[in-house]
């Protein structure tokens, strides 16, 4: 049994909830700004040799994807766990802390303490957060199962609204409904309190409620054993196609992708991802783990990553845990790091598939890794400044040749701390003072063209951060 904190929500009105303070931070700071200070630009020297990204998150970012991990709050105090998370990943999913029994153990009484611990850790380090999960037949508190149809509908919609409002504007994707279809060849819906009392329409209603609660979040349906074309995936496909045809708000489909020697990566994995993407939704690999070891496991991991990269609308990959010892299938050693946090061959295979090892590409192509013409400069200015903090801006300018991606190190002086980053994907070193920001959607620049990223700092307004050399590829 998990121990759950007892912090009550701040209310804004009947049935309402205050959004996360971090979601309003920039707006509040802007309103409170009393002076606009432009600092002297610090131009970095151009980088004349390019290198491939050397972490999972950085390499995925250069491919326009996120690379995430499922995280348990009770492990965040472990130094190696937190350091590996902060170094390697750009997205976080709570393993259990955002499920119904953790957030609303008693009807109408919400406790976000453990979920907020994960959320705050991730956002303070510039990582995105996936929400998992709002409506699921499992890990329900006992009070839900005893409700009649009318009460259950009200409770479901209230739970979705309260949870999504708490994190409004801060969760990039939500698993709105999880595992609603049966295994086997029937393609039928799974028996659950929601299905049995509300009927097939509960999924549509959940998605419509979710859209109203947070219009900015991507709304996903998530399931397992749907990785290849089979009766279960066909049933999910038919539902998504129907939703899209009728304007039901669904933005993405999650594929859990739990594999083992008896249930390997299917040969039509990529084709299956593509057929869902062709419906006009994003696809995400949401809970990846592959039991095995050595080269066989590494090959499977590499194939999964390459399948995602081959599908334009495959937006990211999440592995279900960090070291093997904390996996829900630990005896099968299914993850990328062993019990000592050493990188396994599967890690190298994933990094290589993401293009994150040196020597990839044709050095004769402008902008490819190894091209000496791939260069950029970085200049820093302080935008808004207030007592105790400021907004910083770094402008990236391509050199004499076009580039496909860029990265810049930004070093902070304690107690200053970056609390949010935009237009870039950050990772942190073990000390927490050096932030490496890599391009996200804005990596491709024509020769001489510019883009920028920004960040908010709390903990003092001087000295200015040190901005290192810009690295291009």
Bridge partners (DSSP) of residue 252 are 220, 282
Mean of the pLDDT values across residues 121-140? 96
Tell me the pLDDT tens digit for each residue of 11-33: 333 334 445 544 444 333 343 33
* pLDDT-wise least confident of 91-105, 151-165, 391-405: 391-405
User: Given CA atoms 295, 301, 307, 310 in this order, what sign does their dihedral have?
Assistant: negative
pLDDT-based confidence at residue 266 (cuts at 50, 70, 90): very high
Q: How far apart are CA 360 and CA 182, in angstroms?
A: 43
Token pair, residue 231, equals: 């009766």
Mean of the pLDDT values across residues 365-391? 74
Task: Please provide the distance, in angstroms rounded to a whole number, between the alpha carbons at the two ends of the chain.
Answer: 48
Mean of the pLDDT values across residues 229-248? 98
- pLDDT exceeds 60 at position 136: yes
Mean of the pLDDT values across residues 135-141? 97
pLDDT at residue 469 in the model: 87
* pLDDT-wise least confident of 59-73, 257-271, 356-370: 356-370
pLDDT at residue 244 in the model: 98
pLDDT at residue 419 in the model: 86
Write out the E strands in 375-433. 376-386, 389-398, 406-411, 417-422, 425-428
168 CB contacts (<8 Å, ≥6 apart)? Answer: 19, 20, 23, 213, 214, 216
pLDDT at residue 359 in the model: 31
> Measuring CA to CA, which residue among 68, 175, 170, 67 is closest to residue 131?
175
- pLDDT exceeds 90 at position 98: yes
pLDDT at residue 114 in the model: 98
- pLDDT exceeds 60 at position 145: yes
Q: How far apart are CA 377 and CA 358, in angstroms?
A: 22
Residue 136's SS3 state is strand
Instruction: Give, for 434, the enclosing helix (H) or strand (E).
Output: strand 434-438
* pLDDT-wise least confident of 17-26, 94-103, 137-146, 456-465: 17-26
Q: How far apart are CA 217 and CA 256, in angstroms?
A: 20
145 backbone φψ class: left, alpha, beta (φ>0; ψ -120 to 50): alpha
Report the mean per-residue pLDDT for the chain: 86
Q: How far apart are CA 219 and CA 131, in angstroms?
A: 10
* pLDDT-wise least confident of 18-27, 150-159, 278-287, 314-323: 18-27
The pairing of strands 66-71 and 466-467 is unpaired
- pLDDT exceeds 50 at position 37: no
Q: How many CB atoms lie within 10 A of CB 69?
A: 27
Active site residues: 179, 287
pLDDT at residue 119 in the model: 98
Mean of the pLDDT values across residues 100-126? 97
Instruction: Give, for 253, the enclosing helix (H) or strand (E).
Output: strand 252-255
Tell me the pLDDT tens digit for each residue of 279-303: 999 999 999 999 999 999 999 999 9
What share of the chain has pLDDT > 90, as a percent?
68
Q: What share of the chain is helix, strand, coil (3-state, %, to 5)?
A: 30, 25, 45
Tell me the pLDDT tens digit for each residue of 402-441: 888 888 989 999 999 898 888 888 887 767 788 888 887 7
Tell me the pLDDT tens digit for each residue of 181-234: 999 889 999 999 999 999 999 999 999 999 999 999 999 999 999 999 999 999
77 backbone φψ class: left, alpha, beta (φ>0; ψ -120 to 50): alpha
- pLDDT exceeds 70 at position 368: no
pLDDT at residue 140 in the model: 97
DSSP state of 23: G
- pLDDT exceeds 80 at position 77: yes
pLDDT-based confidence at residue 3 (cuts at 50, 70, 90): very low
What share of the chain has pLDDT > 70, as a percent?
85
The pairing of strands 282-290 and 314-319 is parallel
């Amino acid at each position: 049994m998990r121990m759950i904190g007892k912090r009550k929500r701040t209310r804004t009105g009947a049935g309402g909830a205050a959004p996360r303070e971090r979601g309003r931070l920039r707006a509040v700071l802007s309103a409170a700004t009393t002076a606009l200070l432009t600092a002297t630009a610090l131009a970095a020297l151009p980088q004349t040799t390019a290198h491939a990204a050397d972490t999972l998150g950085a390499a995925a970012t250069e491919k326009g994807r996120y690379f995430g991990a499922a995280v348990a709050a009770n492990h965040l105090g472990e130094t190696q766990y937190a350091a590996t998370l902060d170094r390697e990943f750009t997205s976080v999913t709570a393993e259990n802390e955002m499920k119904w029994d953790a957030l609303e153990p008693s009807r109408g009484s919400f406790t976000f303490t453990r979920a907020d611990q994960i959320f705050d850790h991730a956002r303070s380090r510039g990582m995105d957060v996936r929400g998992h999960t709002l409506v699921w037949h499992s890990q329900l508190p006992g009070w839900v199962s005893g409700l009649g149809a009318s009460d259950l509908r009200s409770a479901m919609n209230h739970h979705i609204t309260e949870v999504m409002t708490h994190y409004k504007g801060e969760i990039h994707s939500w698993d709105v409904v999880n595992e609603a279809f049966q295994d086997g060849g029937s393609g039928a819906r799974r028996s659950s309190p929601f299905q049995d009392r509300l009927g097939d329409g509960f999924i549509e209603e959940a998605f419509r409620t979710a859209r109203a609660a947070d219009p900015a979040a991507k709304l996903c349906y998530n399931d397992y054993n749907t990785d290849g074309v089979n009766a279960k995936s066909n049933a999910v496909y038919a539902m998504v196609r129907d939703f899209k045809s009728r304007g039901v708000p669904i933005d993405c489909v999650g594929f859990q992708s739990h594999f083992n020697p008896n249930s390997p990566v299917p040969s039509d994995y990529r084709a299956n991802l593509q057929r869902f993407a062709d419906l006009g939704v994003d696809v995400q690999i949401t809970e990846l783990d592959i039991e095995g070891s050595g080269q066989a496991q590494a090959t499977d991991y590499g194939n999964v990553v390459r399948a995602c990269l081959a599908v334009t609308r495959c937006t990211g990959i999440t592995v279900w845990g960090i070291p093997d010892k904390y996996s829900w299938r630990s005896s099968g050693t299914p993850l990328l790091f062993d019990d000592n946090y050493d990188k396994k061959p599967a890690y190298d295979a994933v990094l290589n598939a993401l293009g994150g090892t040196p020597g990839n590409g044709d050095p004769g192509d402008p902008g490819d890794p190894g091209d000496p013409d791939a260069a950029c400069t970085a200049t820093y200015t302080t935008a808004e400044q207030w007592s105790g903090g400021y907004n910083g801006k770094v402008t990236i300018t391509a050199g004499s040749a076009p580039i496909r991606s860029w990265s810049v190190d930004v070093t902070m002086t304690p107690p200053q701390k970056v609390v949010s980053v935009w237009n870039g994907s950050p990772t942190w070193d073990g000390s927490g003072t050096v932030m490496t920001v890599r391009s996200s959607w804005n990596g491709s620049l024509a020769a001489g063209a510019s883009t920028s990223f920004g960040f908010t700092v709390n903990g003092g307004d001087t000295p200015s951060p040190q901005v290192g050399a810009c690295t291009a590829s």
